[in-house]
Amino acid sequence: MREVAGAWPGPDDETRRALGTALADIPAGAVVLLDGLVASALPEIVVPEARRLRLVSLVHLPLGVAGDAACRAREYAVLLASRRIVTTSLWSRQWLLDAYASLEAELVHVVHPGVDPAPVVSWCREGSRMLCVGAVTRTKGQDVMVQALAQLTEYEWSCRCVGSLAVDEVYAGQARALAGSPQLAGRITWAGPRGATELDADYADADLVVVPSTTEAYGMVVTEALARGLPVVGSAVGGVPEALGAPAIGPLPGLLVPAGDAAALADALRGWLTNADLRSSLRELALRRRCTLTDWSATTARVSRVLSQVAT
């Protein structure tokens, strides 16, 4: 494994040189798995190397989703030069095939992320303890969640937000200011980034995980919640429905609402807080979904099969 540090996907000159050196040092004919966040940013370096290396692109959230025409053109060039493409969700795969018409569908493979096994958490039957996990950024939608919770002040609840406040400091400040209104009276707390042990404790102290993202390629927080038997209320965006289990498992262990819709999110959370039967049902469905989750060894094996295809 070779790490090229830098401000991806907007690398500086030093980072560009480092990527070029790292690729040049790899023997000709080698199979190289490149993170799409790195590869798609620098086609002028990556594409020429495709003539001597067997490149495979790993795409989480396609850069073209939020990028302009130039960004899409860079990503497209790298994907066309790749022998195979691995995406982390069916949604990401379909987005690529729709956006980049010349890609061959049989060369684009889906490998869902794994999840670490975790113990089932105890829960409060009132369901009042909410948890939101993710860097505080616009794409994670914490401001929408705060606006939704502001409509539910007549109910008993608390919400703990875990994740970096430094990725987008302006947005994080705006979200925290919303949460600091007198009507919310400290019911939303901001824990910042957490280590693995601390995050386990945060999950163990939750009844419900809220995922208010506006953009999400898959939603690993969703499967981390389900691995602990925690239901999810989240946005019906990107790969979030897949992470919950759609369409394969039947009734979902959570509730989905349109992304960016604070009123719809408030309605879903109100239903959770006021309907004991709904809470019990979603808890049972979360425990069932937990039994279907796969760990990282399964993910590694699937990626290895794709790489083997390229190697032969």
Q: Are 249 and 289 in contact (CB under 8 A)?
A: yes
pLDDT in tens, 168-198: 999 999 999 999 999 998 999 999 999 999 9
Q: Given a cut of 90, is residue 1 above it in pLDDT?
A: no
pLDDT band at 199 (very low <50, low <70, confident <90, very high): very high
The continuous run of DSSP H or E covering 131 comes out as strand 129-133
Average confidence (pLDDT) over 287-294: 95
Topology alike, domains 13-114+296-311 and 129-290: yes
Average confidence (pLDDT) over 227-235: 98
The number of beta carbons lying within 10 Å of the beta carbon of residue 46 is: 25
Q: pTM above the 0.85 mark?
A: yes
pLDDT for the residue numbered 293:
96
Average confidence (pLDDT) over 137-161: 97
Angle value at C-alpha 143, between 215 and 173, nearest 5 degrees: 115
List, in sequence order, the alpha helices (H) in the chain.
Answer: 13-24, 36-39, 43-49, 69-81, 90-99, 142-149, 169-179, 196-204, 220-226, 240-244, 262-274, 276-290, 296-311
pLDDT cut 70: percent of the chain above it? 99
pLDDT band at 29 (very low <50, low <70, confident <90, very high): very high
Instruction: Report residue 32: phi and psi, to 5°.
Output: -125, 120
Q: Are 191 and 161 in contact (CB under 8 A)?
A: yes
Average confidence (pLDDT) over 81-87: 97
Q: What are the structural domain ranges in the chain?
A: 13-114+296-311, 129-290
pLDDT for the residue numbered 16:
87
Q: Which fold has domain 129-290?
A: Rossmann fold (3.40.50)
- Calculate the dihedral angle through the C-alpha atoms of 110, 115, 121, 127, rounding to the nearest 10 degrees: -30
- Rg of the chain taking only CA atoms, in angstroms: 21
CATH of domain 13-114+296-311: 3.40.50.2000
Q: Which two tokens stand for residue 40?
A: 């798609």
Q: CA-to-CA distance for 310 and 312, rounded, in angstroms?
A: 6
Q: CA-to-CA distance for 233 and 257, rounded, in angstroms?
A: 8
